[in-house]
């Protein structure tokens, strides 16, 4: 049975990368984060935008999506609806447990393992490719709140502020920014 967030300190559950632009990523023993670049060897790494649709429109934009983080608690939530989703399947580089990623403000720093630090830039804006994991799964990733606003549940995006190696089992430390806190928006 998966641990609930309050059962232990926040932890990295799995890490993944892929050198090609495929939806799911390959689980790895470790990934190396490179400052200002992203995950070494990953197709989405780089100083400028690498997601194909965005790069086609504005290739000079800064890459605010160097690292994709997804909370493992989401797997349990969609399992209740009959979906089987595993680490890396939704294209994330880092699967977490015990961090409410979606509630973090923009600019939050996540220390991963001994050295790596990423800065949360915004929400992942999920795409229809998610339905390849199960028909209707996309509707579980984006839904309307009571006030009519959209709730995006497919994780957060980040940039690498300090490089380092990240492995499953590494601790996660959360440093919320001082001062005004801004809710995450899609990036």
Residue 120 neighbours by CB under 8 Å, 6+ apart: 69, 101, 104, 105, 106, 107, 108, 109, 110, 156, 157, 158, 184
Predicted pLDDT at 43? 95
Q: How big is the chain, counted in residues?
A: 187
CA distance linking residue 149 with residue 37, whole number of Å:
32
Which pTM does this prediction carry? 0.92
- Each residue's pLDDT expressed in tens, for the chain with a length of 187 residues: 333 444 679 999 999 999 999 999 999 999 999 999 999 999 999 999 987 777 778 888 999 999 999 999 999 999 999 999 999 999 999 999 999 999 999 999 999 999 999 999 999 988 888 999 999 999 999 988 899 988 999 999 999 999 999 999 999 999 999 999 999 999 9
- The DSSP secondary-structure symbol of 156 reads E
Q: Which residue, chain included where needed, has tokens 């990953």?
A: 42
CA distance linking residue 161 with residue 179, whole number of Å:
20
Angle at the Cα of 170 from the Cα atoms of 169 and 171, rounded to 5 degrees: 115
Predicted pLDDT at 4? 45
Predicted pLDDT at 7? 60
Predicted pLDDT at 91? 96
């Amino acid at each position: 049975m998966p641990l609930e967030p309050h059962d232990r300190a926040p932890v990295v559950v799995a890490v993944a990368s892929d050198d090609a632009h495929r939806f799911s990523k390959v689980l790895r023993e470790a990934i190396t984060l490179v400052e200002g670049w992203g995950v070494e060897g990953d197709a989405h790494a780089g100083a400028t935008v690498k997601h194909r649709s965005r790069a086609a429109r504005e290739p000079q934009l800064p890459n605010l999506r160097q690292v994709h983080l997804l909370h493992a608690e989401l797997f349990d939530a969609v399992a209740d609806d009959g979906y089987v989703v595993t680490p890396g399947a939704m294209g994330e580089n880092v699967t977490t447990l015990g961090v409410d990623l979606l509630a973090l403000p923009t600019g939050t720093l996540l220390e991963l393992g001994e050295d790596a630090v990423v800065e949360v830039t915004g929400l992942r804006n999920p795409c229809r490719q998610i339905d390849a994991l199960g028909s209707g799964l996309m509707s579980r990733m984006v839904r309307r709140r009571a006030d009519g606003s959209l709730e995006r549940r497919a994780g957060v995006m980040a940039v690498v502020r300090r490089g380092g190696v990240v492995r499953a089992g590494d601790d996660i430390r959360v440093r919320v920014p001082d001062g005004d806190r801004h809710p995450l928006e899609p990036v």
